[in-house]
A and B are shown apart, each in its own frame.
Chain A
Amino acid sequence: MVPGLKPLFDDVLRSPDENMALHKKTLALDALSKLAQQFSNRPDFHELIDVLLLTLSGQLTAVNTFAAFYRPGAVSAEPVYFGTGKFKKNAPPSLALNSEQRQFLQRSEEPLAVESLKPERCMMTLADELAAFGAKLIVPLVHKDELIGILGSGPRVSGKPFEETDIHLLTTLTHTVTPFISNSFHFVEIAQLNTWYLDILNSVKQGVFVFNHQYRLKKVNAPAMAILRDLRHDSVAVESLLHQPVQKVFPDDLFHDWSHRIRGGSSEIDNLRVENMAAGNGEQERIFKVYLGCIQREQDINTDLVVTVEDVTEQTQSERRLFELEKFSEKGEMAASISHELNNYLGMVLGGVELTTLALERGNMEKAAETLGKLKHNVISMERFTAGLTDYSKVTSGDENADLNGIVTETLSFLTLRKKFQKIKIRTDFDHTIPSLDMNTGHVSQLLLNLLNNAADAIEEANRQAGQITVSTSLEANRVILTVSDNGVGITPEVREKLFKTQFTTKAKGHGHGLVTCARLIRDNGGEIDLETEPGVGTAFTVTFPVGESILTPA
């Protein structure tokens, strides 16, 4: 009890009848046991505090009572307030305690008369405001050395001072119920947090499914249910799916092989895995980007699997159109390049024919033989060029099981005939132990063509006299790695940020589809693309293809 409080209780009215005092104690104990029982049953927190305040009011025969609860560690925060009678409507403004006031109350675990608080400098304002509010008594609720709240009482209905027995009972009551209140308040806080997290979860556009370690559905958000209902054409309820196995949530007839792929994923879900998966049938087929990740909690051996689903049908169709556009554009450039090369050869052939004709007209057989020899050499070069075209068309034909080294060789043999590559020194560094990729050869070729074209453009932009491109392959930790590096102009951080975004280009004639297409091709095949660059020095693109049963097959 703080100094100054004791005298206020010295003049308590002692009950003249011991039996009366006994009856009061019996009533109080009965109230206590009922309260404890109710707190244990965790009913609605508001109702619980209301009953506590009514009990307090009845015990003290106080006109009205109030309670304020503080969130753990939240200094100066507005408390959660409850009141009865006239105290019900508004809380006194002083209840948002500062740290000094909080510490003072934490030290005083017994009832405090509001009047007795005034001499304490830090409590002076609080005391004045509480007195103006009509409060006569406050009781700090301290649990585990932390102030969790305050109970307060107005005057007694009789207008008489509080009796010592009342104060004793009040102390006992608050000590008994404080741990229960603390627990209940935490339950409320947890419930509010839970609601908050659910609101966040429901506000994202992706569908989120959480499965337990036995692949049974634990949690699902509203967009996820919308996806399910849309595909199933029914109004399936959340309740009917909770605790169901993954194959019931994603039935094979609608979600082709999803349950198998999801189950396959969780054995190695310490990292985020992303896959495109199809669902629905016929014209209603949708493409989803499916992110598989895990929630591993400390001291919990069971991992939850989080399946995040995003409908990318429109995006995929748009990217496919871009891809076709890119191929079309590439074909146009290639046709121009082929035409240019063939014209060069034809020009040389025509020149050779004219020289031979002239030599024959002059009867210079020796010169004629020499120019015919050159003519033959040019025709052989032409033949080589057209043979190269045929080989290149083979690697772009779309067969599976891509031999990465072979594709690099064929692509380079074709590209080096093109003018912009002719001044560039191209070096290869192959690892001949890499397995063949279980992916479309046309895609790999397309990817390589994009990277090499970009490298040549970067070298041209840098005005390098000794341009150099290095293409290397390697096998590292179950990953096949393709690196294309150049000593071109390099990429600034600003440009790098936008590099894989559609229709971003730094080239005067570029359309910005090249690297987007590359990234999509790689992602579609379960790979990753990264780059290291230094402006003015050069760039190295690294493409990684994970080696797994579904990705790679032995060469």
Chain B
Amino acid sequence: MSDSQIRQELIDDGVVVLNPGRTLDNNNAHEMVEVISSTQEAGRNNIIIDMCDMEFISSAGVGSILGSVETSREAGGDIVLCNVSDAIMHVLVVLDLVDYLTIKTDRQQSAEFCGIPRG
């Protein structure tokens, strides 16, 4: 169904960076959940979602992140969003999610949040 492919990168043992591409909506939200779930099941609960390419996020896209945050946090990790554009940030503000989600400026900050030393 989906043409998109979520890029995955292991930057440290235990920290995975996901880049969903230009959109996170009905077309790839299901795939996003699958990727996050399998990452968590592999014991990697620190997940960085790099939104550097993202232009649009739908309710389903938001839902794909929300359902996974609790699982990571309960396991001592977190799901960190970074490189969030103004348009995406606007949606997160409208949905009153800014306080709930961990949002960092870039990958470096996100990595540091996840416990990876600068370098």
Give CA–CA (A223, B33) in the complex, Å: 42
What residues on A are CB-neighbors of B63 within 8 Å? 53-59, 65, 84
Given contacts A27-B59, A43-B1, contact A58 B96 (CB under 8 A): no
Q: Mark A85-104, 1 if CB is under 8 A from B, else 0.
A: 11010000000000000000
Given contacts A50-B33, A51-B30, contact A24 B95 (CB under 8 A): yes
Main secondary structure of the interface of B (DSSP, over half): helix
Give CA–CA (A84, B62) in the complex, Å: 12
Residues in B6-42 with C-beta less than 8 Å from chain A? 25-26, 29-30, 33, 37
A61 located at the interface, meaning its Cβ lies under 8 Å from any Cβ of chain B in the complex: yes
Contact with A20, one of B25, B61, B69, B94 (Cβ below 8 angstroms): B94
What residues on A are CB-neighbors of B69 within 8 Å? 63, 157
Report yes or no: A157 in contact with B97, Cβ–Cβ below 8 A: yes
B54 located at the interface, meaning its Cβ lies under 8 Å from any Cβ of chain A in the complex: no
Report yes or no: A61 in contact with B66, Cβ–Cβ below 8 A: yes
What residues on A are CB-neighbors of B61 within 8 Å? 54, 58
Report yes or no: B58 in contact with A34, Cβ–Cβ below 8 A: yes
Report yes or no: B58 in contact with A47, Cβ–Cβ below 8 A: no
B29 nearest CB neighbor, chain A only: A54
Pair count A-B, CB < 8 A: 108
Give CA–CA (A38, B29) in the complex, Å: 13
B91 nearest CB neighbor, chain A only: A27
Q: How far is the CB of B40 from chain A (nearest CB, A)?
A: 11
Give CA–CA (A146, B37) in the complex, Å: 35
A35 located at the interface, meaning its Cβ lies under 8 Å from any Cβ of chain B in the complex: yes
Q: How far is the CB of A220 from chain B (nearest CB, A)?
A: 30
What residues on A are CB-neighbors of B25 within 8 Å? 34
What residues on B are CB-neighbors of A160 within 8 Å? 96
Residues in A124-150 with C-beta less than 8 Å from chain B? none
B68 located at the interface, meaning its Cβ lies under 8 Å from any Cβ of chain A in the complex: yes
Report yes or no: A157 in contact with B26, Cβ–Cβ below 8 A: no
Interface residue count on the A side (C-beta < 8 Å):
34
B60 located at the interface, meaning its Cβ lies under 8 Å from any Cβ of chain A in the complex: yes
Given contacts A43-B1, A54-B30, contact A85 B99 (CB under 8 A): no
Contact with A55, one of B33, B37, B59, B68 (Cβ below 8 angstroms): B59
What residues on B are CB-neighbors of A57 within 8 Å? 59, 62-63, 66-67
Q: How far is the CB of B49 from chain A (nearest CB, A)?
A: 14
B99 nearest CB neighbor, chain A only: A158
Of the candidates B66, B68, B90, B95, the one having the most CB atoms from chain A within 10 angstroms of its own CB is B66
Report yes or no: A63 in contact with B67, Cβ–Cβ below 8 A: yes
A163 nearest CB neighbor, chain B only: B96
B97 nearest CB neighbor, chain A only: A61
Give CA–CA (A50, B27) in the complex, Å: 11
Report yes or no: A58 in contact with B33, Cβ–Cβ below 8 A: no
Given contacts A31-B59, A31-B60, A85-B70, contact A58 B26 (CB under 8 A): no
B64 located at the interface, meaning its Cβ lies under 8 Å from any Cβ of chain A in the complex: yes
Report yes or no: A84 in contact with B100, Cβ–Cβ below 8 A: no
A44 located at the interface, meaning its Cβ lies under 8 Å from any Cβ of chain B in the complex: yes
Report yes or no: A61 in contact with B95, Cβ–Cβ below 8 A: yes
Of the candidates B26, B63, B97, the one having the most CB atoms from chain A within 10 angstroms of its own CB is B63
Report yes or no: A85 in contact with B71, Cβ–Cβ below 8 A: yes
Report yes or no: B95 in contact with A51, Cβ–Cβ below 8 A: no
Report yes or no: A35 in contact with B68, Cβ–Cβ below 8 A: no
A47 nearest CB neighbor, chain B only: B30
Main secondary structure of the interface of A (DSSP, over half): helix
Q: How far is the CB of B26 from chain A (nearest CB, A)?
A: 5
A233 located at the interface, meaning its Cβ lies under 8 Å from any Cβ of chain B in the complex: no
Q: How far is the CB of B30 from chain A (nearest CB, A)?
A: 5
Report yes or no: A158 in contact with B33, Cβ–Cβ below 8 A: no
Residues in B80-97 with C-beta less than 8 Å from chain A? 90-91, 94-97
Contact with B29, one of A20, A30, A51, A59 (Cβ below 8 angstroms): A51
What residues on B are CB-neighbors of A20 within 8 Å? 94
Residues in A26-50 with C-beta less than 8 Å from chain B? 27-28, 30-31, 34-35, 38, 43-44, 47, 50
Give CA–CA (A59, B67) in the complex, Å: 12
What residues on A are CB-neighbors of B1 within 8 Å? 43-44, 47
Report yes or no: B68 in contact with A85, Cβ–Cβ below 8 A: yes
Give CA–CA (A58, B60) in the complex, Å: 6
A221 located at the interface, meaning its Cβ lies under 8 Å from any Cβ of chain B in the complex: no
Report yes or no: A84 in contact with B30, Cβ–Cβ below 8 A: no
A169 nearest CB neighbor, chain B only: B59
Q: How far is the CB of B86 from chain A (nearest CB, A)?
A: 14
Report yes or no: B33 in contact with A30, Cβ–Cβ below 8 A: no
Q: How far is the CB of B70 from chain A (nearest CB, A)?
A: 6
What residues on A are CB-neighbors of B58 within 8 Å? 27, 30-31, 34, 55, 58
A159 nearest CB neighbor, chain B only: B100
Give CA–CA (A65, B64) in the complex, Å: 11
Report yes or no: B100 in contact with A34, Cβ–Cβ below 8 A: no
Give CA–CA (A459, B23) in the complex, Å: 92
What residues on B are CB-neighbors of A86 within 8 Å? 67, 70-71
A411 located at the interface, meaning its Cβ lies under 8 Å from any Cβ of chain B in the complex: no
B31 nearest CB neighbor, chain A only: A47
B residues with CB within 8 A of A: 1, 25-26, 29-30, 33, 37, 58-64, 66-71, 90-91, 94-97, 99-100
Q: List 8 A-B contacts (CB under 8 A).
A: A20-B94, A27-B94, A30-B59, A47-B1, A47-B30, A51-B60, A54-B61, A57-B59
A residues with CB within 8 A of B: 20, 23-24, 27-28, 30-31, 34-35, 38, 43-44, 47, 50-51, 53-59, 61-65, 84-86, 88, 157-158, 160
- In the A-B complex, list the 7 residue pairs whose CB atoms are closest, starting with the nearest: A85-B67, A54-B63, A58-B59, A57-B63, A58-B62, A58-B63, A84-B67
Given A31-B60, A58-B66, A158-B99, 19 further pairs, Cβ under 8 A: A23-B91, A24-B94, A34-B58, A43-B1, A51-B29, A51-B60, A54-B60, A54-B62, A57-B66, A58-B60, A58-B63, A61-B95, A84-B63, A85-B67, A85-B70, A88-B37, A157-B66, A158-B97, A158-B100
